[in-house]
Amino acid sequence: MSKNRVLIFDTTLRDGEQCPGASMNLRQKLAVARQLSRLKVDVIEAGFPVISDGDFTAVQTISKQIKNAQIAGLARCVNKDIDAAGAAVKPAGKRGRIHVFLATSKIHREHKLGKAQDQILKLAVDGVKRACKYVKDVEFSPEDGSRTEPDFLVEICRAVVKAGATTVNIPDTVGWAVPEQYGALIAHLHDHVPEFQNGKAIISVHCHNDLGLAVANSLAAVKAGARQVECTVNGIGERAGNAALEEIVMALKTRKDVFRGFSCGINSKEIVKASKLVARMSGLPVQRSKAIVGENAFAHSSGIHQDGILKKRETYEIMDPRAVGWGKTELPLTKHSGRAAVAARLKHLGFRLSTSDVAALFDHFKEIGDKKKFVYDEDLTALVEDILTMVPETWTLDYLNVSTGNQTVPTATVRLLKTNAKKPTSAQDAGIGDGPVDAALKAIDRITHTTGKLMDYALRSVSQGKDALGEVSVKVDFGDGKLVAGRGASTDIIEASARAYLNAVNRYLDTGGTGGVQTKKTKRGKP
């Protein structure tokens, strides 16, 4: 590998998922991992195996199925954590990596861990040595590295590299650093640890965006000697998020005059696909003005700009939108299209679905095709992601009728089918609310015996035209303080809202929430 090759370490499935309400099920994580593979990231941090059976299974499954990237599992410098990570990444063989971390800053040592420098040093070395029993590729992170005393950081780096670490990550855990200071810290470490100079180990950086400087800090670190950047698609992550993968990659590719000689192996034409998939799977929409992947990133409304673009694109565009995956929409499908045509289009779009999933999708495709003239790629993608977001369905929507207007009380009548019982049953009720959506959701609460508080609601048009498919994303609190995400799509926004909320209800019930069948008429009131 070239000494100026910059490795892209994607932590969307670990740090990105730590964003409240962004948790994904196994099928969603696999879909994201496959897209990251097509993107050609170097390392996929698939999760934190010890924290739950779900995370362990996700890391293990991704280790089995993804073949062209290193698969990392996160672990504290705790034996059970390291053992769990070792077992989870074992199917990846030589591609397995264990990423161990331990806080090193003074404030963390004194107030979180209650340990002295020598104790921290021993724990770090012991953790790396234990990880080396499972894999040859071990990464160590001194948590809150940007606020750790530089001399102690040098000591830590030397010790863990000697113990077997091949990568040492210097996290700006709380987004405290600024580019000049952070770059100087990385240069200091590079100059004082011989293994960073001779290539036996490399420096990685992991920057958070609390001051909006995550990308700037990461790029400053690359110029100072870092050869791995940890980032997430769309910059999602804890608090204000992480360094955005798409911005890091395109800065390296676009500003070769500044980053002379540096390269990365990312297939940039897959960036937009990755962005859209992660947005839908996480329930975190991309702001329209987001660099590279926002809908306005290559939009020009000014007459002066438009004139310049028409004469020569480069007058107002520093990147070719096609280089990141923006381009012309393919010819749409119609209601007359057959299953084979739909399956072929799905394959072209990069989706791998089972025969049963294609069959389920095709039924919904025909419903959409009857309601609109064309079914675009974006519509088809939304339908696929309906399949990916499916959880075991306690309840399914059978009937919805809404009465609303400016001179009437919004009322919704809903009938749901309970399909997971030995004998399928149906239940019907009505609700009134501040609007048709509120009324429909209250009716669903009455039937399912759940009490959900809608904490977030987002509606977007999936495709073009007056008959565009509407996609609704919700986050719901069912009383335990945990946000449950749900999504639904339909040409009718009330139906899409009901489907999204019901998806969240089913997800809640699938994880142990309580709910039941309403067999008797109950008094109408607030849920």
C-alpha closest to that of 290 among 377, 215, 196, 380: 215
Task: Look at residue 371 in the predicted model and tell me its pLDDT.
Answer: 79
DSSP 8-state assignment for residue 91:
G
- 395-510 folds as Double Stranded RNA Binding Domain (3.30.160)
The DSSP string of 223-249 is HHT--EEEEBGGG--STT-B-BHHHHH
169: helix, strand or coil: strand
Task: To the nearest 10°, report the CA torsion of 403, 404, 405, 409.
Answer: 100
Question: Alpha-carbon Rg of the chain, whole angstroms?
Answer: 25
Task: Look at residue 304 in the predicted model and tell me its pLDDT.
Answer: 66
Task: Look at residue 1 in the predicted model and tell me its pLDDT.
Answer: 62
Return the domain boundaries, the chain.
7-282, 339-388, 395-510
Give the pLDDT of the chain (527 residues) as one tens digit per residue.
Answer: 678 999 999 999 999 988 877 889 999 999 999 999 999 999 999 999 999 999 999 999 999 999 999 999 999 999 999 999 999 999 999 999 999 999 999 999 999 999 999 999 999 999 999 999 999 999 999 999 999 999 999 999 999 999 999 999 999 999 999 999 999 999 999 999 999 999 999 999 999 999 999 999 999 999 999 999 999 999 999 999 999 999 999 999 999 999 999 999 999 999 999 999 999 999 899 998 999 999 888 876 555 665 676 677 788 788 988 899 987 444 457 777 888 878 888 887 778 888 888 888 888 888 888 877 778 777 888 888 777 777 778 899 999 999 999 889 999 999 999 877 777 889 999 999 999 999 999 999 999 999 999 999 999 888 777 778 888 999 999 988 888 889 898 889 999 999 999 999 998 998 877 665 443 333 333 33
Tell whether pTM > 0.85: no
CATH class of 7-282: alpha beta
Contact (CB, 8 A) for 258 and 225: no
What do you get for the CA distance between the two ends of the chain, in Å? Answer: 60
Task: Look at residue 309 in the predicted model and tell me its pLDDT.
Answer: 63
Nearest 5 degrees, angle CA 381-CA 383-CA 386? 110
